[in-house]
Every structure is written in C-alpha cells, then in structure tokens.
Amino acid sequence: MRTAVFWGCVIPNAQYAYELSVREVLPRLGVELVDLEDVSCCGTPIMSVNMNAFLYLAARNLAIAEKTGLKTLLVPCSGCRLSFSEAMHYLRRDEKLQEKINSLLKDEGLEYTGTIRMRFITDLLCNVVKKEYIQKLTKKTLNELKLASHYGCHAIRPSSIERTDDPENPRNLDDLIGWLGARSEAYPEKLDCCGSLLLWSHHDAAFTFAGLKLKAIQDRGFDGVVVTCPACHMMFDERQKAVASTVGSKLDLPVLYYTQLLGLAMGIEEEKLGLHLNRSPVDKLLEKIG
C-alpha cells in the first residue's frame, strides 16, 4: 500500500531514530511512504492557547495530505494523532466551523474535506500489515526479553472518536511485541503518563512523572521499555539521567521504539535503525538479542 506520512515536530527535529527506523522498516513490509510538502506543527501544542488556531493547523495539514489523493495518512506521533482525531471530530460535527476553518485555508488554496483516513503506527502495523506478514519477515525471535509496553496517552485516548484499541486495557503494542517472540508483561503502572506536556508549565513535575514510571518498570525486572511516541521517548530515553534524580535512584533501563525492535527482529543493522542515537543503555538489550 501507499500512504502519506505526517512526522510532526518532535520526530523530524529531535527524534531521528524514530524517523530512521520507520523509513527503514515499513517499506520492507510493503508500505510505501509518501512525504508531505509544506506541512507544519500538528496543532496539539497550542490547544491551550487558541482552539481555532489549533483547528486551523490540524485542518491545514490534513488538507495537504488529502491533496495527494492518497486514502491513508500514517501518523507515528501520538500527539499528532490527538490533534487530527479531535479536529476530524469537531469539523465533521459542525458544518459552520468547517466553513470557518476552510475560509482560512483558502488563502493557501487548500480545502479540508474529511476524506482521508488517519492511522496511528500501531494501528497500521496491527490491522493493515498484520501478524502473518510481520512474522514472515522476522529472522530472529526475541524470546529472551521481558519488555514493558508504554502506549502514550494520546495514542489511546480519547477512544470515543476512532476506537482502535481498548483505552483501559490496550492490546495493540503488546500484541506487536509478542509477535516477535518477546514477553510483554502487564504491570500496574502501564497506563501512567510520561508527563511530557507538563514541560511547558511544570518542568519538575513532568520529570517526576517520568521518573516514577521508569523506576517502577525497572524495579519489576523488565529488560526494557518499548514506546511509539517521540515525546514519551524523549522523557524516558534522552532525559533518563535527569529524571532519575527526581526519584532519587539510579535508572539504567533500555528504552527503544517499537519500529527499532521490529527492525532488529527483521535482522536490520543497528545503525540503519538509529540505535546509535538512543541515549539509554540499549547495548544491554542488544547483547541479549545477539
């Protein structure tokens, strides 16, 4: 299949490992990615400032995606998923609002019609690529690993809009990990938030959110954490040392993107998956995989 892809702000400006691994893995699974021109921030970061400006940004990016004529838009960032699902919901429900936003889009010759289908990365892998294809292409089984799945709040909530997973007991990521032979065990803190959106107002509290979750995962003897959101990954991986100080303990926990894990199972070289860019101690995990 061919799909448009929307990278957002955090992935293409700061989380290159995610972009590299998505670009490396998906085409091998039969998904051709089409980059979008002139896109901008998805809008989520300014929901707090002005809802109309948020809707404008969301609808503008969606309109650019629609212009490609493609039927699907792949979204690998859960923050962007929130923006688009909310905007689609509001604009579908309210014709006048859609007209108002479209009158802004007209300045650039764009129009939002609501015809493209958005798919979050785990949704695409679970429901379009599917288990059989993934398992056909995996060369290594990861049965030595016990991994903690971290979903990302905006990947599973709100569920009322386009329910692709159970918001209280999400399964997609756990299934995806399990298909590679690794154990994805349940843990009580699974649905806890990484805290990243508090960075804009309460920096220390944001770090404590992340620290508490990582500490709990580490104490439960997991080999690593698997994420699918660049904001969560930044909190858990790049900032791991700093967040450790908020909970007063040493953290030494490998954190990686699902697409990196999948790539490893497919036998792809580490550098191609951006694994040299992870700041958390992923070497421990790589040794176990062999």
Contact (Cβ atoms closer than 8 angstroms) between residue 255 and residue 220: no
Cis peptide bond N-terminal to 45, omega within 30: no
Q: Which stretch binds other proteins (CB under 8 A): 101-109, 116-124, 174-182, 216-224?
A: 101-109
Q: Binding to other proteins by residue 95, rule CB under 8 A? A: no
DSSP letter for 272, please.
Answer: G
Q: How many CB atoms lie within 10 A of CB 269?
A: 10
Q: How many CB atoms lie within 10 A of CB 204?
A: 11
Q: Binding to other proteins by residue 164, rule CB under 8 A? A: no
Q: Which stretch binds other proteins (CB under 8 A): 111-119, 123-131, 138-146, 205-213?
A: 205-213
- In Å, how far are 67, 68, 258 from 95, measured between CA atoms? 20, 24, 38
Report the DSSP pairing between strands 146-150 and 72-75. Answer: unpaired
Q: Binding to other proteins by residue 131, rule CB under 8 A? A: no
Q: How many CB atoms lie within 10 A of CB 34?
A: 15
CB of 23 to other proteins, least distance (A): 8
Site string for other proteins, 47-86 (x = CB under 8 A): xxxxxxx-xxx--x---------------------x----
- In Å, how far are 144, 190, 261 from 223, measured between CA atoms? 9, 15, 13
Q: Binding to other proteins by residue 242, rule CB under 8 A? A: no
The identity of residue 264, as a single letter, is L
CB of 74 to other proteins, least distance (A): 16
Q: Binding to other proteins by residue 9, rule CB under 8 A? A: yes
Using CA atoms, how far apart are residues 235 and 247, in angstroms rounded to an integer? 14
Question: Is 94 or 269 the residue whose CB approaches other proteins more closely?
Answer: 94
Using CA atoms, how far apart are residues 237 and 284, in angstroms rounded to an integer? 14
Report the DSSP pairing between strands 32-35 and 117-120. Answer: unpaired
Q: Which stretch binds other proteins (CB under 8 A): 93-101, 121-129, 134-142, 247-255?
A: 93-101
Using CA atoms, how far apart are residues 3 and 77, in angstroms rounded to an integer? 15
Q: Binding to other proteins by residue 99, rule CB under 8 A? A: no
Q: Which of 195, 211, 224, 263 binds other proteins (CB under 8 A)?
A: 195
Q: Binding to other proteins by residue 37, rule CB under 8 A? A: yes
Q: Is the dihedral of CA 60, 92, 229, 54 positive or negative?
A: positive
Q: Which stretch binds other proteins (CB under 8 A): 121-129, 156-164, 175-183, 253-261?
A: 156-164
Q: Binding to other proteins by residue 192, rule CB under 8 A? A: yes
CB of 141 to other proteins, least distance (A): 26
Q: Which residue in 200, 219, 279, 209 sits closest to 243, CA to CA?
A: 209
Count of residues touching other proteins (by CB under 8 A): 68
- Angle made by CA atoms 117, 154, 46, in degrees to the nearest 5: 90
Q: Binding to other proteins by residue 16, rule CB under 8 A? A: yes
Q: Which of 1, 34, 104, 128 binds other proteins (CB under 8 A)?
A: 104
Binding site for other proteins (CB under 8 A): 9-10, 12-14, 16-17, 19-20, 23, 35-41, 45-53, 55-57, 60, 82, 90, 93-94, 100, 104-105, 107-108, 153-154, 157-159, 167-168, 191-193, 195, 197-202, 205-206, 208-209, 274, 276-279, 281-283
